[in-house]
Amino acid sequence: MKKYLMWSFERGSRPYDAICFVILAFIFLTPSWVFNDRPEFMKIDKNEPVRRSVDDNGNTVYTVQINMPAFTPASEAEKAAKEKKVKAANGGDDYRLRIEHAQVVTPLEIVKFRDLKVIASMQPCHVLTDMKWAEARLGEKRAAHSYAWNEFLKRGVTLAFGTDYPVEPLTPFRGLYAASTRKSEDGKQEYFPDQKITMDQAIAAYTTGSAFAEFDEKQKGQIVPGMFADFAVLDRDITAASPQQLLQTKVLRTVVGGKTVYEAK
């Protein structure tokens, strides 16, 4: 039964209460910052100011312009916080910086994620639509390191997954399918399969990884005594289902805080 009860849900606005540093960016971190098929399209002003606000509670929000490199403001944020002796949300000095949509990176940048302890936050379902054009836009060399989930994990980088709803459908099963297969939903197209990860690794990124990113790993992300009773009962064991069966998964019951808030008819 345990395998069926493995989904941890966001509790209202709680995910935003404990965030210490959030880097909001649609990141194309490659050195050239250009589209392979339209090199004239992106001309980035590297001097574009980055807005920063830091309060004494360790709550810092960075807003980084789309396609700007994010590691500089990330390192500056950590330096500024330490100089002000600002504590992280859990009282420590691990600020758990993260980069949203960290989907197009180089191997060197993945090393920077590890060295700076930056969390790679991504939405695997994006690859289902992006694979139709990503290689043409990025070029084969860069595309090989896009949506690099396996590469991140091998380097010891924490992954935090989400659905990106309402941009993408709310169902997490498309994301689990994408992360574990790297194939289109009809199974006819495959996108750099070396970067796929196991189902257990994908589930961990959606649950324990995301809980860690928001300093809530002691309350969320696992179904154990003493933690929030947030889970869903599914109609199949997703760790044993075939890829196509996974896409057909239905939720039978949803429990939040120990109370049933949805039950399939």
SS (H, E, C) 42-81: CCCCCCCCCEEEECCCCCEEEECCCCCCCHHHHHHHHHHH
- Catalogue the long-range contacts made by 244-250 (C-beta closer than 8 Å, 24 or more residues apart): 244/187, 246/173, 246/176, 246/177, 246/180, 247/173, 247/174, 247/177, 247/185, 249/173
Which has the closest alpha carbon to 172: 5, 3, 9? 9
pLDDT at 57 over 90: no
Q: Of 35-39, 56-60, 167-171, give the lowest mean pLDDT range.
A: 56-60
Which has the closest alpha carbon to 164: 255, 102, 112? 102
Report the pLDDT value the prediction gives residue 87, as an integer from 0 to 100. 73
CATH of segment(s) 8-222: 3.20.20.140
Distances (CA, A) of 167 to 41, 101, 132, 172, 230: 23, 13, 17, 13, 24
pTM: 0.78
**Can you tell me the mean pLDDT for 89-97?**
75
Length of the chain, please? Answer: 265
CA distance 152 to 149: 5
Q: What are phi and psi of 114, to 5 degrees?
A: -65, -50
CA distance 241 to 202: 14
Q: For 106-165, write each residue's pLDDT tens digit.
A: 999 899 889 988 899 999 999 999 999 999 988 999 999 999 999 999 999 999 999 988
Q: Say if residues 77 and 116 touch (Cβ distance below 8 Å).
A: no
Report the pLDDT value the prediction gives residue 32, as an integer from 0 to 100. 40
- Looking at residue 164, its amino acid is D
pLDDT at 102 over 80: yes
Three-class secondary structure of residue 233 per DSSP: strand
Q: For 13-51, write each residue's pLDDT tens digit.
A: 333 333 333 333 333 344 444 566 665 554 444 444 333
Q: Of 106-120, 194-208, 251-265, give the lowest mean pLDDT range.
A: 106-120
Chain position carrying tokens 């909001």: 24
Task: Look over the chain and give the mean of its residue pLDDT values, rounded to a whole number.
Answer: 78
Distant-in-sequence, close-in-space partners of 186: CB < 8 Å, separation ≥ 6: none
| Of 84 and 64, more confident | 84
Q: Two tokens at 23?
A: 């880097």
- Residue 175: Cβ within 10 Å count: 25
Report the pLDDT value the prediction gives residue 98, as an integer from 0 to 100. 83
pLDDT at 73 over 70: no
Confidence band, pLDDT 50/70/90 cuts, at residue 238: very high
Report the pLDDT value the prediction gives residue 86, as an integer from 0 to 100. 73
Q: Two tokens at 35?
A: 């589209």
- Looking at residue 143, its amino acid is A
